[in-house]
């Protein structure tokens, strides 16, 4: 899963990114994080996986990861090709979701590019760029599709109709996600690659100890069907500097922060993208967690493990993680009837431990 971090200059993007990079660096497994300085690969810790691994005596634990891409160049004027704007817009197109960092802390020592702290207005400035970039893209796509629809192609005709609505909508400040797609043009959004159809996660970069998202940001999130989480980016970096988890917990308690901001961000991303987690684990093998869209089948889960395993799929053996842990292993879980054999259409549940038989 790839998430692009955007926001105005000085909103706190690099600070948040640094906190995320440290969380990634801690695990040591992800040497590739250092290859691209703008990408942080962050493991998604999951206590359930640790317990499954201990139960079946796995050799190691490999957590699912999220890639955060720091897209620092998205500034007002980016859509007009100012600076490296277009390059950054292209980078956002590759992501599954957008994490929009909004400055909400009042620190006088941090200058604001617009000379005032107004989170609602800041969100508008960035979103105007996304709308402008999409408008340009949609107009170009529309020109191409008009040519195709002249040949009488039914899909192209439906797509043209949708794109005309999209162009109108974008022109009046409405994101692509709010323009209904007709059945006859189902694949059109995938072909457009719009920025304003991506799910958004607002990070309200709040003063330390603040646990609430300011109303201006919360209102935007509600309007966009998005999620908003409060994080103090600077505190997260400081917490990341503490080696000892006990010390970090103590500091969080002192500041009145209930959950690690990064954990909050990761949970929010999973919710936003409607993901669930399933596990694979065996004795002396790696225990792994992987994410999957809710509603996915055992067959799709197999594809996440390996395309070869998917191709050779015969059946899946499935047990809920707590049933496995409480039974003390696969064999006792099977004896109790808690480990089931399922076919390829079985819908994976969050926390399932699965073994694909080939
Ligand atoms: P970017 O331009 O969006 O990448 O912003 P930075 O992450 O570089 O942050 C800009 C300035 O704001 C830096 O001096 C940070 O130390 C400061 N800053 C970032 N987050 C916070 C925060 O939560 N509280 C305070 N007081 N300052 C912050």
- Model pLDDT, residue 73: 64
| Ligand 1 near 21 CB (within 6 A) | no
First to last CA, the chain: 27
- What mean pLDDT is predicted for residues 82-107? 80
Atom 14 (ligand 1) nearest CA = 110
- Model pLDDT, residue 30: 44
The residues pairing with 288 across neighbouring beta strands, listed in sequence order, are 62, 280
More confident residue, 305 or 115: 305
CA of 37 to the centre of ligand 1 (A): 18
Instruction: Kindly report, residue by residue over 104-146, the tens digit of the pLDDT.
Output: 988 777 888 788 889 999 999 999 988 998 999 999 999 999 9
To test the pocket of ligand 1, the residue of 4, 234, 240, 262 to mutate (highest count of ligand atoms within 8 Å of its CB) is: 234
As a whole number of angstroms, the distance between CA 335 and CA 169 comes to 59
Domains defined along the chain, listed by start: 2-45+64-116+199-272 (3.40.50.300), 127-196 (1.10.150.300), 295-357 (3.10.20.30)
CA of 115 to the centre of ligand 1 (A): 15
Contacting residues for 63 by C-beta, under 8 A, at least 6 apart = 27, 43, 44, 45, 46, 49, 288, 289
263 vs 13, 43, 66, 76, CA distance in Å?
Answer: 17, 10, 12, 30
Secondary structure (DSSP) of 197-263: GS-EEEEEEPPTT--S--HHHHHHHHHTT-EEEEE-HHHHHHHHH-S-HHHHHHHHHHHT--S-HHH
| Ligand 1 near 13 CB (within 6 A) | yes
Atom of ligand 1 nearest to the CA of 105: 24
- Model pLDDT, residue 196: 93
Instruction: Kindly report, residue by residue over 160-175, the tens digit of the pLDDT.
Output: 999 999 999 999 999 9
Instruction: Kindly report, residue by residue over 227-246, the tens digit of the pLDDT.
Output: 999 999 988 888 877 766 77
CA of 159 to the centre of ligand 1 (A): 43
> According to the 3-state scheme, what is the secondary structure of 108-163?
CCCCCCCCCCCHHHHHHHHHHHHHHHHHHHHHHHHHHHHHHHCCCCHHHHHHHHHH
Asked if 230 and 210 count as a contact pair (C-beta separation under 8 A), the reply is yes
- What mean pLDDT is predicted for residues 61-86? 74
| Ligand 1 near 14 CB (within 6 A) | yes
The residue with tokens 């040519």 is: 147
The secondary element (H helix, E strand) that includes residue 57 is: none
As a whole number of angstroms, the distance between CA 227 and CA 223 comes to 10
| Ligand 1 near 110 CB (within 6 A) | yes
CA of 12 to the centre of ligand 1 (A): 4
Atom 9 (ligand 1) nearest CA = 12
| Ligand 1 near 205 CB (within 6 A) | yes
| Ligand 1 near 15 CB (within 6 A) | yes
Is the pLDDT at 267 greater than 90? The verdict is no
- Per this entry, what is the length of the chain? 358
Tokens of 308: 């070869």
């Amino acid at each position: 899963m790839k998430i692009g971090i955007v926001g105005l200059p000085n909103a706190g993007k690099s600070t948040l990114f640094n906190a995320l990079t440290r969380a990634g660096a801690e695990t040591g497994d992800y040497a590739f994080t250092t290859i691209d300085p703008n990408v942080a690969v962050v493991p998604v810790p999951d206590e359930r996986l640790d317990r499954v691994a201990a139960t079946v005596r796995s050799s190691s634990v490999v957590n699912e990861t999220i890639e955060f891409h720091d897209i620092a160049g998205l500034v007002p004027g980016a859509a007009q090709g100012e600076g490296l704007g277009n390059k950054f817009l292209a980078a956002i197109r590759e992501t599954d979701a957008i994490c929009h960092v909004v400055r909400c802390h009042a620190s006088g020592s941090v200058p604001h590019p617009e000379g005032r702290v107004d989170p609602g207005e800041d969100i508008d400035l960035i979103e105007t760029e996304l709308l402008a970039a999409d408008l340009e893209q949609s107009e170009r796509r529309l020109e191409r599709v008009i040519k195709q629809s002249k040949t009488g192609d039914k899909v192209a005709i439906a797509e043209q109709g949708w794109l005309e609505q999209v162009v109108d909508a974008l022109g009046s400040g409405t994101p692509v996600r709010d323009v209904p797609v007709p059945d006859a043009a189902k694949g059109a959004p995938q072909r457009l690659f719009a920025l304003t159809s991506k799910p958004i996660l607002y990070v309200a970069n709040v003063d330390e100890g603040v646990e609430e998202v300011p109303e201006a940001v919360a209102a935007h999130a509600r309007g966009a069907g998005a999620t908003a989480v409060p994080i103090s980016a600077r505190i997260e970096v400081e917490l990341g500097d503490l080696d000892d988890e006990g010390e970090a917990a103590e500091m969080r308690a002192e500041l009145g922060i209930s959950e690690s901001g990064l954990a909050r961000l990761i949970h929010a991303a999973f919710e936003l993208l409607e993901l669930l987690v399933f596990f694979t684990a065996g004795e002396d093998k790696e225990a792994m967690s992987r994410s999957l869209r809710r509603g996915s089948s055992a067959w799709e889960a197999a594809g996440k493990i390996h395309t070869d395993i998917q191709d050779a799929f015969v059946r899946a053996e499935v047990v809920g993680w707590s049933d496995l842990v409480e039974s003390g292993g696969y064999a006792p879980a099977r004896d109790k009837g808690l480990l089931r054999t399922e076919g390829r259409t079985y819908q994976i549940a969050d926390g399932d431990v699965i073994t694909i038989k080939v």
